[in-house]
Amino acid sequence: LLFLWSITVSIFGIGGLLGSSGSRYLAVKYGKKKCLMCNNLLMIVAASIMGCSKTARSFEMILIGRFICGISTGVGVPLYQQYVGEISPKKLRGFANSTSSFFWSLGKSIGQISGQRELLGSRSLWPMLMASCGLPALVQLVTLPFFPESPPYLLMRQGDQEGCKKAIRQLWGEGHHQAEIDDIMKEKATMKNTKILSVLELMKEPAFRWQLYMIVILTATVQLCGINAV
């Protein structure tokens, strides 16, 4: 039982690793908006599987649901930051990017509170708690079709200048946005002369060695400092 419980908890992280590893490829190939919408469907599937596990008397469904949920989270977290940053006007871009940390912490807090035995952590209601991750995914799935694709993606990846201008007007209102379009074109020109490193190449690159050490140590310290136990 201890082994199964440990696997159930940790398999979320394994799914997250796989999802985050493939998020860049998916975003480049299909666009951030489409990827987010499909990712929400994946999260709803995971929530449905976990929510039905008690009725089906199957702990394997919890394992599968947690794994799929991890993949969806791994794909969604970096895509969310990229999409929100790219559709935000320049003066609000820093604030928009910082919301991911806020909502991440808020979600964990709501999950901890909802998981109390007096609320959804009881014997009868825990399947609802497991399935609750599908609710924000459903909200995003319903609202995302009203948003345009990311303007930088339309211009840099698809070469659709008119589509980019239309998306900018829809997001930021009517006005003269040529400066923003010029910035995107400069970024596109820069990217042509910049080699995109894979994870393995990044780890082998001496110039980034100390930055990687700092990130790994910082992340490991956060995980091992006891904050999860608190």
Instruction: Give 89-129 pLDDT, tens digit per residue.
Output: 878 888 888 888 888 888 888 888 999 999 998 888 999 99
Report residue 135 as tokens. 């609710």
Q: What is the mean pLDDT of residues 20-45?
A: 89
CATH domain 1-147 topology = Growth Hormone; Chain: A; (1.20.1250)
**What pLDDT sits at residue 186?**
76
- Integer Cα distance of 62 and 69 in angstroms: 10
pTM, two decimal places: 0.80
Integer CA distances (angstroms), 85 to 92, 110, 139, in order: 9, 25, 20
What is the per-residue pLDDT for 199? 76
Report the pLDDT averaged over residues 29-41: 89
The tally of CA atoms less than 13 A away on the side-chain side of residue 119 is 10
The 10s digit of each residue's pLDDT in 178-224 is 777 777 777 777 777 677 777 788 888 888 889 989 988 998 888 78
Q: Residue ranges per domain, the chain?
A: 1-147, 197-229
